[in-house]
Amino acid sequence: MRFYRRLQPFHAISFDLDDTLYSNQPIMLATDTKMVRYFKDIFNAQSSAFDFRFWWPFRQQALLLAPELKHDVGLLRQKSYFLGALSLGLTDAEAAMFADNALDYFVEQRSNFTLPQHTHDFLGYLKTKMPLVAITNGNVDTDKIGIAQYFTHHFHASIENKLKPDRDMFDKACLALHLAPEQLLHVGDCGKNDVFGAINAGCQTAWLNPYQVGKALKVLPTIALDNVEQLTKIVS
């Protein structure tokens, strides 16, 4: 654990989820493989026809039609599926149903994992000390992976909740907790989305990058952690 700024008293902790509490990359790779098989079964086509290279142009098209979708990875994926289905000859109604079902399957599969008991023990302990909040750009189902009960509030990026590093979700978390921004300690792996975003909102930050996928630091966090369990040493 390394301190880069003076740690002020804090009264709640917010967590990024993907690649902070668990390694998300292998989960997403496995999910992508399952999605290719899913599309192959639906369209009776070769599996290679429906990898990311097929859907990417429709993602870009969706963003051109509705730039605000950049804040909601779920709706963006759904719109991409809809546009791709239209290109394959489905009607609007058929494409809409296909996109809804495909997104449901995607979220189910990307949330199809379990966390080790020590993560539950760690979150359970922190919950007894102060409120915990989830602030994520992703769309993992916290109920399905078994951690929803540890958080008093959940903020998922959406049209209404702007994507980190925008300060929107940090501001809303502080408002919901009735705290000044400096009384919230945000924990995350990304130097841009988590550290810069939280500092820009006036919050304190705890940075860790255990899976080496988060963007590099551009501003120093309050503290850097070797592992997330070190938080127990600074919570009174």
Active site residues: 16
Listed in sequence order, the residues at least 6 apart from 145 whose beta carbon sits closer than 8 Å to its beta carbon are: 111, 113, 114, 115
Three-state helix/strand/coil letters over the chain: CEECCCCCCCCEEEECCECCCECCHHHHHHHHHHHHHHHHHHHCCCHHHHCHHHHHHHHHHHHHHCHHHHHCHHHHHHHHHHHHHHHCCCCHHHHHHHHHHHHHHHHHHHCCCCCCHHHHHHHHHHHHHCCEEEEECCCCCCCCCCCHHHCCEEEECCCCCCCCCCCHHHHHHHHHHCCCHHHEEEEECCHHHHHHHHHHCCCEEEECCCCCCCCCCCCCCCEECCCHHHHHHCCC
Task: Provide the 10 A C-beta neighbour count for residue 76.
Answer: 17
Question: Are 189 and 171 a contacting pair, CB within 8 Å?
Answer: no
